[in-house]
Amino acid sequence: MSEDDRHLVWRHKAGDNSAFEELHARHGRRVTAYLLRSGFTRPEADDLCQEVFLRAFKSLGSFDADRGSLGTWLGAIARNVARRQWRRRARPEGFDGELAEETFAADNPRAAPEVREELQAVRDCVAALPAELGRIVRLRYIDARTTRGIAEVTDTPEATVRARLAEAKGMVERCLRGKGVLE
Amino acid sequence: MSEEPDKTDERMEGLLRRWGAEEAAEHAPQAALPPPRRAAGPGAGLRYAAVAAGALLVGLLVATLVNRPGQPVGLSTRPADDEIANLNADLTKAQRDLAGLRAKLTALEADLQAERLRLQTDLAEMRNDRDRHKAAATAAAAREKALKRTLEGQQARLAALAAAEKQLARAKLDLAAAGKALTQAQAQRHASGRKLAAAAVELARIGKSYKQALTVSTALEGEVTALKARREATLADLQRAYLARATADERGIRARQVAGQSCRIVERAAEVRSLATSKLARQAVDRLEVVLIRLELLNVDDTEAVMAFAALVRSVRPAETVDEALAAGGEVTKVRAWLLEARLILTGAGRVG
C-alpha cells in the first residue's frame, strides 16, 4: 500500500472529509475500468462505482492498512458488487473475467519507474500497429474482450480475429525486441 | 530450445495484460462521488446556511429596488437626481439590512457551532456511558460466571455427599450381615470343636482296635501259611502215593495214564456231573473230563502229541480249577473225591517237554 493511500486513510479516520474525495480521485477510474472490463455498460458502471465507494465510505473506518492495499480492498468490494448484480441478471458474454480481475492486480506504476518504461514501450509499439490490428489488441487487452467478443464487435469470424491477434502480437514482439524490452 | 520462445510469449502476454489494465484504469471515466457523501460532511450545514442567507439578501435587495412604497414601478418616469438620491437611500438601507443579516448569520453560525459542540459533548458522554455500561455488563457476566462455577462446585459436592451417604448405609447393612454371619460361624466353630474332640476320641479307639486286629491278623496269617504248607505237603504225598500205582518203568505221562485208567476216572465223570450242585463244579468236571479223555487216548511215544497235551493241561490249569470248585463248598463226597483225583492225576502234567 502506498504511503499516499495510508496517509489518506489516516486522515479520513481522523475526521478529514476531503481525504475520501482524494481517495475516490485516486481509485475511482480503476474501479470503473474493472466494471467496464467485466461487461457492464457505462451508465451501469457509473452507478455500480458509486455503490462501491458508498460501501467503502461506510466501512473505511474498519479498514486495516497493515493487512493489504487499499486497491485490493476496493477490488474485493467491486467484485462483490458485480457478483450481486450478476445474480440479478446473466453475466455478460464476450468478456474475459480473468483479465478484468487483473485490473486490481497491478501495483501503481508510478512507484516503479522500470515498469513504467516497459509499459510506455508497449504503448508505443501498439500505437505503431496498423489501425485494424491495433483495434483488435485494444479490444483484447484494454477492454478485456474474448475472441468471440472481439468477433462480435468487429463483425469478423473468430478464426480471423485469432489470426490477426497473433499477427499483431508478433509485430509487437519484434518492436519490443527492437526497444530492448524483450531479449 | 523450445523453452525460450515460451518464456518470451509469457513475458509478452504479461506485458500486454499489464499494459491493458493500466490503460483501462487510466482512460476510464471518473464516476461521481456517491450523493450521501456530498451531504454528509460537518461543513455542509454551514455551506447550505450561507447559500440560503445569500439568496435571502439578493431577494430583499431586489424587492427593495422594485417595490419601494409610494413609488410607481419604472425608472424612466422620475428625474435623475431624485432617482439617484432614492437609490442611494435604498442602497444605504440595503447595506444596513445586509449588515444586520450578516450579523444574524454570524450569530447563527455561532449558535450552530455551539450546538455542534454541545452535540459532540453529548456524544462523548453517551460514548462514556456506553463504555461504562459495557464494562459493568462484562463485570456482571464475569460475576455470574464465577457464581455459576461456585454453584456447580457445590452441587457436585452435594452429589458426592449423597453418594457417600448411600455407600455408608450399604456398609452398615453389610456390617450387620457380617456380624450375624460371625455369630453363626462362632456357633459352628464351637460345634465343630466338640465334634472334633469326639472324633479324636473315636479315632484313638479305632487306632487301638486296629492295632489289636493287626496283631490277631498277623497271628492268623502265620497259621494260614502253615496250613497252606501242610496242605501242599499232603497233596504232594497223596499224589506220590496215587501215581505210585504204576509199574517201576512207567513214569511221567504214562504213570498218569495208568493211574486214570486204574481208577476209571473218565467212566465216573458222568455220574459226578449229575451229582454236582454248583455251576462252578459242573464246569470244572466238564473241562477236566476233556483233558482226562485226551490223556487216556494219548500215545506217549508221540512226542508231538505229548507236547500238545501238556499245552492243553496248562491252559485248563487243573489245580486252580479244582481248588475253586472245592472252595465253593456244598458238594457231596463223590464229587469232592473225583475232583481231587483229577487234580492229583493232572497236576504237573503241563510241565512235560
Helix (H, G, I), strand (E, B) or coil at A95: strand
Position with higher pLDDT, A17 vs B12: B12
pLDDT at B329: 83
Interface of A with B in 146-175 (CB under 8 A): 169, 172-173
* B25 contacts on A by Cβ (under 8 Å): 29-30, 33, 103
A106 pLDDT tier (thresholds 50, 70, 90): low
Q: What is the pLDDT along chain B (353 residues), one digit of tens a residue?
A: 455 667 888 899 999 999 999 999 888 888 777 664 443 443 433 343 444 444 455 455 545 554 544 443 334 345 567 778 888 888 888 888 888 888 888 778 777 777 777 777 778 778 888 888 888 888 888 999 899 998 999 999 999 999 999 999 999 999 999 999 999 988 988 888 888 888 888 888 888 888 888 888 888 888 888 888 888 888 877 777 777 655 544 457 888 888 888 889 999 999 999 999 999 999 999 999 999 999 999 988 888 888 899 999 999 899 899 988 888 888 899 999 999 999 988 888 887 65
Interface of A with B in 91-150 (CB under 8 A): 99, 102-103, 105-106, 109, 115, 118-119, 122-123, 126, 137-138, 140-144
CATH of the domain at A124: 1.10.10.10
Q: How many domains does chain A have?
A: 2
Q: Which residue of chain B comes nearest to A42, CA vs CA?
A: B29
For residues A71 and A155, membership in a common domain is answered with: no
Rounded Cα distance between A44 and A35, Å, is 8
For residues A144 and A99, membership in a common domain is answered with: no
The type of residue at B98 is: L
Q: Please report where in the chains the cell 514482439 appears, as a residue.
A: A173
Nearest to B282 by CA among B291, B297, B271, B298: B271
CATH of the domain at A95: 1.10.1740.10
**Could you report the predicted ipTM of this complex, rounded to two decimals?**
0.90
pLDDT at B164: 92
Q: How many domains does chain B have?
A: 2
Does B266 fall in a domain? yes
Domain carrying residue A102? 3-106
Query: Residue A18 is placed in which grid cell?
Result: 476531503
Does A72 fall in a domain? yes
For residues A89 and A31, membership in a common domain is answered with: yes
Does A162 fall in a domain? yes
pLDDT at A28: 92
Helices (H) and strands (E) in chain A, counts: 9, 0
Give residue-wise pLDDT tens across range A42-59. 999 999 999 999 999 888
Q: What is the pLDDT of chain A when averaged over all its residues?
A: 89
Question: Last residue of a domain, which of A77, A106, A135?
Answer: A106
pLDDT at A111: 55
Does A183 fall in a domain? no
pLDDT at B3: 55
How close is the nearest chain A Cα to the Cα of B126, in Å?
A: 19
Question: Last residue of a domain, which of A106, A137, A161?
Answer: A106
CB A34 within 8 A of CB A100: yes
- Using a pLDDT cut of 70, give the percent of chain A over it: 95
Q: Pinpoint the alpha helices (H) of chain B.
A: 3-27, 35-40, 44-66, 80-243, 253-262, 265-275, 279-297, 303-316, 318-328, 333-346
For residues A128 and A162, membership in a common domain is answered with: yes
For residues A100 and A169, membership in a common domain is answered with: no
For residues A70 and A34, membership in a common domain is answered with: yes
Chain B positions contacting chain A at CB under 8 Å are 8, 11-12, 15-37, 40-43
Domain carrying residue B285? 244-351
pLDDT at B124: 78
CB contact under 8 A, A182 and B30: no
Give residue-wise pLDDT tens across range A47-91. 999 999 999 988 888 887 777 788 888 999 999 999 999 998 888
How close is the nearest chain A Cα to the Cα of B140, in Å?
A: 29
